[in-house]
Amino acid sequence: MKQQVADRMRGISAFYVMELLQRAKQLEREGRDVIHMEIGEPDFPTPQAVIDAGRALLKTGEVKYTAAAGLPELREAIAEHYVRQYGVKVDPGRVFITPGASGAFLLAFGISLNPGEQVMMADPCYPCNDNFVRLFNGQTHFVNVGADTEYQLTADLIAQNWRPNSKGVLAASPSNPTGTLLNGADLKYAIDQVHRLGGCFYSDEIYHGLIYDQPAATALAHGDDAFVINSFSKFFGMTGWRVGWLVVPDDFVEAAEKLAQNIFISTPTHSQHAALASFTEDNLAELERRRLEFKARRDFLYTNLLKLGFKIACKPEGAFYIYADCSAFTDNSFAFAGELLEREGVAVTPGRDFGKYRADKHIRFAYTASIDRMAEALTRLERFICR
């Protein structure tokens, strides 16, 4: 036996967008202007109140390990957030602070998924999902979804695709890359279906807060048995701080506590203290202003992509992405994205980063750039497709 890479790594690929990102940086070094619409993080800086809280904590010099589950006051603040935002009561003892939603996935699958068990999820979806499952030697069961179900799994799809070795279902609402919701009764039916089948429902709610036309529903409104993954990264503007959370069912509290102790020790202390400042009235008002800016960007980009001849099967209702069908211009969206970058200096993410189903017909635009920059990108895009 040689010193060998683990088998699981054969199934885990780098993100295709990384190649584009490398190339974009190269072009920028050569003096080219690149408009970045590939990046899945808000372009706004972290809100000032949060920065200030982080700096104040650092000033004390006491950046020690916290309890593995997180600062008690942050767990409480998140529980209160559920009351205020959704009218849902959550025991803070079920809230675990994690290094981002990424840490929440590690924890959720670590405590629930056995090797060989399947997790069902939509194709297209966030590329890491499948790889978290592979990390634990589980299997991902992708279910192709389209406009008819707003790119979401439904109770029926879940029942049809359930297998003896299915462990559960992962849903993200709003979805990355489509920005569509699993909301209202559909969310409830999906959760009930999974629980009827005896499985786990993993609800990725990281884009909550960034929703533009209707309030978002949390899985926690439909009982105490869902795993809810969330983060301060996106809505709260704290990507690089690495702080998120996981809410677990009662039966998993002890396991989550034990595993968090072992694999994280704790979540960055200064980031936890800073995150606490997210819930002040002033900061929430600042986040609301940013939400309105994102909404204006969505409307602008949506309207103009349609004008250019992109098809957008479902108007996105949240996150900061538009998943656009570019089959009018190409049947290879990866090559399309590459050429668009080379010729016009506009960076977007190719569909194949999000799955296989009709991936070569789609690209994802992130509206994490200002309307001015997007207007310039649209001019370049028009020139590109009319070449």
- Write out the binding residues for ligand PLP, residues 243-302 only, by CB under 6 A: 244, 265
Query: Binding of ligand PLP at residue 239 (CB under 6 A)?
Result: yes
Q: How far is the CB of 13 from ligand PLP (least distance, A)?
A: 17
Query: Binding of ligand PLP at residue 63 (CB under 6 A)?
Result: no
Give the closest residue to 63 by CA, choosing from 273, 274, 269, 267: 269
Q: From CA 205, how far away is CA 101, in angstroms rounded?
A: 9
Q: Which is nearer to its own copies, 242 or 361 (CB)?
A: 242
Which string of x and - marks every residue 97-136 that binds ligand PLP (by CB under 6 A)?
Answer: ---xxx-----------------------x----------
Residue list 12-51, contact with ligand PLP (CB under 6 A): 40
Answer for the pair 169, 201: CB distance below 8 angstroms, yes or no: yes
Q: Where are the alpha helices (DSSP H) in the chain?
A: 16-29, 48-60, 72-86, 100-112, 128-135, 155-161, 184-196, 253-263, 269-276, 281-308, 333-344, 371-385
Q: Which is nearer to ligand PLP, 122 or 381 (CB)?
A: 122
Answer for the pair 344, 380: CB distance below 8 angstroms, yes or no: yes
Query: Binding of ligand PLP at residue 206 (CB under 6 A)?
Result: yes
Q: What angle do CA 169, 90, 255 make, to 5 degrees?
A: 60
Sheet with 321-325: strands ordered across = 321-325, 362-366, 349-350
Residue 331 interacting partner from ligand PLP, its own copies, none (CB closer than 5 to 8 Å by kind):
none
> Which one of the spans 72-80, 94-102, 218-226, 283-291 is the region binding ligand PLP (CB under 6 A)?
94-102
Q: Residue 135: CB partners within 8 Å, gap ≥ 6?
A: 8, 12, 106, 109
Q: Figure out which of the listed residues 74, 172, 260, 366 binds ligand PLP, where binding follows CB under 6 A.
A: 172
Residue list 317-376, contact with ligand PLP (CB under 6 A): none
Q: Which is nearer to ligand PLP, 46 or 231 (CB)?
A: 231
Q: Is the dihedral of CA 301, 304, 305, 311 positive or negative?
A: positive
Residue 176 interacting partner from ligand PLP, its own copies, none (CB closer than 5 to 8 Å by kind):
ligand PLP
Q: How far is the CB of 167 from its own copies (least distance, A)?
A: 8
Q: Which is nearer to its own copies, 167 or 298 (CB)?
A: 167
Q: From CA 344, how far away is CA 34, in angstroms rounded?
A: 8
Q: From CA 103, how far away is CA 202, in angstroms rounded?
A: 14
Q: By three-state DSSP, how is residue 352 classified?
A: helix
Q: Which is nearer to its own copies, 42 or 316 (CB)?
A: 42
Q: How far is the CB of 54 from its own copies (least distance, A)?
A: 5
Residue 316 interacting partner from ligand PLP, its own copies, none (CB closer than 5 to 8 Å by kind):
none
Answer for the pair 266, 129: CB distance below 8 angstroms, yes or no: no
Judged by the rule CB under 6 A, the positions of this chain that interact with ligand PLP are 40, 100-102, 126, 172, 176, 204, 206, 231, 233, 239, 244, 265
